[in-house]
Amino acid sequence: MKVQPVHRGMFSHPDFAGHEAVSFVSDADSGLKAIIAVHDTTLGPALGGCRRWAYDDEAAALKDVLRLSRGMTLKNAAAGLDLGGGKAVILSDGNDATPAMWRAFGRAVNRLGGDYITAEDVGTGQAAVDAIAETSPHVRGTSARGLGDPSPYTAWGVFAGIKAAVKHALGADSLKGLSVAIQGTGNVGADVARLARKDGAGLILADIREDAVMVLARELDASVAAVDRIHAVKADVFVPCALGGALNAKTIPELKARIVAGAANNQLDTPEDAVRLAGRGILYAPDFVINAGGVISIALAEDFPEPDAMRDRVGQLGDVLSSIFKTAEAGGGTTDEIAVRIAENRITAARENRS
């Protein structure tokens, strides 16, 4: 196995963003090909999941890992965790991953000396993190130590964020009588739907998995919208819980909701989309703040081993968001800019204390 710390053209890569280290990992025996990106370790070791995906090419994998890794720096810092940001991607050839591959990945993580801590992400389930733990201590969310699937905690944080946004924008203490449109009813979206319904919301759901969305709609007495129209339906809150880029130059002018608050990563197609939303008077809960419940449940599993205590900790994301909304209202910038500033200020202060 080889771990090569640099790549030609890396420093000038448009998404490089001052990464501390980027490692290209290969293991001939297991067929592993991976990239591990450590963006920033100022606040602590870089925690971020390992994604396994069949990328179109290596350039796409590199772009993905660099963007996700920087995103983890912001997410962990804004969530108040003493952790830096990093991420790994494994380049899938379309075949199933083997335990040998995960063990080889664990050995590659070890070579970074604890600067990077891995966890599950798209394409990496519980069995994978357990296999990684056979060769590496630098892994979280294993079945031996942890609270299991992070999705319910992500959903709990999103629900807390929706409530904070509703309180701020509409002055309401519950979702009773409000309508909530949810794009993507997978692990997180379905849980958010159940929580919102229990709190009194009427639901409009959409998912490309038509059968599954119909089953959930029956369970929750919800209506179903077309996947290409869910962002534009008449609702008080739009909740993106599918893939990134849901908020863009085409969809934002069509939004009818006063609030956007959901779990998907990278919801804004470009940073200008935050300005577009603010310009339309739509309150946007920055994605990397509202969706931090899962990473909090992984990072702090030993401090809050009981689900109720963890939900209380994750629920604090609602307070973080309330304060961001107030700063934005006072003219402090878009909610996205303020959230980035909160994260970067924490890192700058830690750096200054260190030197």
Given the rule CB under 6 A, which residues bind ligand NAD?
Answer: 150-151, 154, 183-189, 206-209, 227, 241-243, 263-265, 291, 294
| Nearest distance from C-beta of residue 18 to ligand NAD, angstroms | 23
Three-state SS at 87: strand
Q: How far is the CB of 72 from ligand NAD (least distance, A)?
A: 10
Q: Bridge partners of 87? A: 37
Q: Which is nearer to ligand NAD, 147 or 243 (CB)?
A: 243
As a whole number of Å, the end-to-end CA separation of the chain is: 36
Smallest separation (angstroms) from ligand NAD to the CB of 355? 33
Catalytic center residues: 87
Give how far Cα 216 sits from Cα of 189, 244, 307, Å: 11, 23, 24
Tokens found for residue 82: 């003493």
Q: Which is nearest to 161 in space by CA: 290, 299, 34? A: 290
Q: What is the distance between the alpha carbons of residues 99 and 49, in angstroms, rounded to a whole number?
A: 17
Cβ-based nearer residue to ligand NAD, 242 or 282? 242
Query: Closer CB to ligand NAD, residue 104 or residue 292?
Result: 292
Interatomic CA distance for residues 176 and 197, integer angstroms: 9
CB closer to ligand NAD, 24 vs 286: 286
Nearer to ligand NAD, 291 or 335 (CB): 291
Whether the Cβ atoms of residue 298 and residue 47 lie closer than 8 Å to each other: yes
Give the C-alpha separation, 296 to 98, whole Å: 28
- Find the residue with minimal CB distance to ligand NAD: 186
Query: Coil, helix or strand for 60?
Result: helix
Q: How far is the CB of 186 from ligand NAD (least distance, A)?
A: 2
Residue in the block written with tokens 């604090």: 316
Q: Rounded to an integer, what distance in angstroms lies between the CA atom of residue 246 and that of residue 87? A: 22
> Shortest Cβ distance from residue 178 to ligand NAD (Å)?
21
Distance CA 333, CA 331 (A): 6
